[in-house]
Amino acid sequence: MERKEFENVMEEYKFTPVGMVEYNYETRNAYYGENLLYYYGGTGYTVINGRVPLEVANNIYKKYPNNEYGIRVDGAAPDAVPSDFAEDDTLKKEVNEYGIQEAFKNFRNREDSEKYITVYHIDTKEGLKIFIDEMKKYLAEKYLSKAPVRVLKPNIWKPIKK
């Protein structure tokens, strides 16, 4: 993906420019959207930092099994299994407290709903759009389910003509 393609996607999704990040000794525009920080990695991929719910990562992994869009968990190979790179708020503390084996044993027994991926690298414009759309869908479902009203059929209202 070229830098211009990345910037066009950020503009298309109306993500907010939040300043600059330094990456590989260069400064890059950083954007905020869907509770994540996005910036262009400089060698043809987008870097995403934040907490991507494991559920989102698993959905992408299942929907795009051959991963021709280069949506890479933690910058690993395109076919990397998301759960191998997941963490939660307790894991690092337990590694220091109990050691790595006991910490990961406890981690595997915890609910997936609390687990997340902290870094993604995405190689294509299409992959970036897929990722953003999956995050939007997840957040919409998560927050609409807690809304004080039920949304039965979104987007069914048509403008009234005078």
CATH class of the domain comprising 3-86+113-144:
alpha beta
- The parts of the chain modelled with pLDDT lower than 70 are 24, 145-162
pLDDT recorded at residue 148:
62
Contact 74/80 with Cβ under 8 angstroms?
yes
Report the candidate in 93, 71, 95, 75 with the shortest Cα–Cα distance to residue 85: 75
Within 10 angstroms of residue 134's Cβ, the number of other Cβ atoms is 21
Confidence (pLDDT) at 66: 84
Give the pLDDT confidence score for residue 26 in this predicted structure: 75
CB 68 within 8 A of CB 57: no
Query: What pLDDT score does 142 carry?
Result: 83
Decide: helix, strand or coil at residue 118.
strand
Return the percent helix, strand and coil in the chain, to nearest 5. 40, 25, 35
> Model pTM?
0.83
Write down the pLDDT at residue 72.
Answer: 95
